[in-house]
């Protein structure tokens, strides 16, 4: 009887832990931010994207692979990344604008301040 109880308890506990881990990181929940609420540098980056450049960093406009799978799944090449200047950063920093759609005419914009860990959809 005692062994049966311990086995059931262990199975329940293991199932709970595995279920919790599966739902703890909901990648489908993206935040939303207004263009006006973005940092000034992000607003400038969006303006440069809309003008078609020129861009200050070589990697600007390169394909963003969405390997983290935080953004909605799309075919490779749908997303592009652009650096958002970070004051006092010695490198490109962590901030990016990710666009979705055609390179010359994006349909959607996303902002990340933490190098792809989280995103906010940019709304007009």
Catalytic machinery residues: 81, 115
Whole-angstrom distance, CA of residue 119 vs CA of residue 109: 10
Give 3-state DSSP helix, strand, coil % of the chain, rounded to 5.
30, 25, 45
Q: Is the dihedral of CA 50, 53, 57, 62 positive or negative?
A: positive
Diameter over CA atoms, the chain: 74
Whole-angstrom distance, CA of residue 56 vs CA of residue 64: 17
Nearest to 102 by CA among 43, 42, 49, 32: 49
């Amino acid at each position: 009887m005692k062994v049966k109880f311990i086995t059931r308890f262990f199975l329940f506990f293991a199932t709970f832990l595995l279920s919790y881990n599966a739902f703890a990181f909901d990648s489908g929940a993206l935040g939303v931010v207004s263009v006006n609420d973005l940092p000034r540098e992000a607003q400038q980056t969006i303006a440069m994207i809309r003008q078609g450049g020129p861009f200050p960093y070589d990697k600007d406009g390169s394909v963003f692979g969405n390997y983290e799978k935080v953004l909605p799944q799309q075919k490779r090449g749908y997303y592009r990344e652009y650096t958002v200047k970070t004051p006092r950063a010695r490198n490109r920093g962590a901030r990016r604008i990710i666009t979705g759609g055609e390179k010359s005419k994006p349909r959607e914009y996303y902002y990340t301040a933490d190098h792809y860990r989280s995103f906010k959809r940019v709304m007009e």
